[in-house]
Structure 1
């Protein structure tokens, strides 16, 4: 199910508040608005010196340290059930 813009903003801000607290979440948003931040350029710079194995390892480590807490069914689990 696709979320509308308000739901996405609400969820995004809730994530920021959970990790940063209200004050730092507000500061983060102010910094992003003030800077000419381009995610595409940042992503290219971040990953340009990494090979696929390093990216996979980093993603796996992140997944391990951030367990899924949502109500939805993870696609990975769903595929295991199907096959």
Structure 2
């Protein structure tokens, strides 16, 4: 299991890879400023797909991003 610092680093790297630096910063600022309701965000902010489909999609995206 990763420690919190490793998870934060991996999360920021994922955000930056997906959104680029400026948009990732904007997301972090807006989430902090808006006092994000994490329970509601998980319920309504995620696509309406099963976890397995979401994981498969994320894995395909990662393979495309990191394949050389």
With the length of structure 1 as denominator, give the TM-score of the two structures: 0.56
Structure 2: unaligned runs, 5 residues or longer? 64-68
Structure 1: unaligned runs, 5 residues or longer? 47-54, 71-83
| 1:66 aligned partner | 58
Q: Which whole-Å deviations, capped at 9, do the CAs of 1:55-74 have from their partners, x for residues lacking one? A: 6xx1254344332659xxxx
Asked if residue 19 in structure 1 is aligned to residue 42 in structure 2, the reply is: no
Q: How does 1:1-83 map to 2 (within 5 A)?
A: 2-44=1-43, 46=44, 58-59=49-50, 60-67=52-59
Pairs aligned (count) = 59
Q: Which runs of 4+ in 1 moved over 4 A?
A: none
Greater relative CO (CA pairs within 8 A, separation 6+) = 2
With the length of structure 2 as denominator, give the TM-score of the two structures: 0.66
CA RMSD after TM alignment: 2.6
